[in-house]
Amino acid sequence: MERTFLMVKPDGVERGLIGQVINRIENRGFHMVAIKMLRISQELAEEQYAEHAGKPFFHEMLSFMTSGPVVAMVWEGPGVIQSVRRLMGATDPAQAEPGTIRGDMGTSISRNVVHGSDSRAAAEREINLFFNDSELPG
C-alpha cells in the first residue's frame, strides 16, 4: 500500500487550517495512519529540505519552518503520493488552481500551508525522518 508524508506548515497551524487540510484528503478517500504536532529543530529542517541547500530562499525557509509548531502526517491509499500533490496545488499559491489547498488557502510561495512528498523515494525518506517504526502501522 502506498504511503506519503504530509505536513501542515507553521502558517497553516497558526491560521487554524489543520482540519480543512485533513478534510480534503479524507474526502478524497485516503486514510491517515499517523499524526503528530511538533516543533521542528534546525537540524531536522535542514535534513527535510536538503535538496534545496544553497538556494536563495533556503535560509529564510528554514527559519520559517522552525518558527512554530507543524503537524506531520502519514497518509495511505492507492496513488496517494501524486493525488496529495494534486490536492496541494502548485508551490506558489498565485499559480495554484482554485480548489487546491494552496490555491484556496496559501498566501505566498513561502507561506503555502502544506508540504507533501513528491515521489516514492521522498515519501519513504520523509516518513522515516518524522516517525519511528513503532508509530506506524505494520
What are the catalytic residues?
115
Least Å from the CB of residue 129 to ligand CDP? 15
Considering only CA atoms, which of 68, 78, 110 is closest in space to residue 93?
110
**Of residues 62-121, which lie at the interface with ligand CDP (CB under 6 A)?**
91, 109-110, 112, 115, 118
Angle in degrees, CA 125, 94, 119, rounded to 5: 20
Could you tell me which residues are beta bridge partners of residue 114? 8
Name which of 56 and 138 has its Cβ closer to ligand CDP.
56
Angle in degrees, CA 61, 104, 78, rounded to 5: 85
Give backbone dihedrals phi and psi of 8, rounded to 5 degrees, phi first. Answer: -85, 120
In the list 42, 57, 68, 107, the residue contacting ligand CDP (rule: CB under 6 A) is 57
24 binds ligand CDP (CB under 6 A): no
**Interface with ligand CDP (CB under 6 A):** 52, 57, 61, 91, 109-110, 112, 115, 118
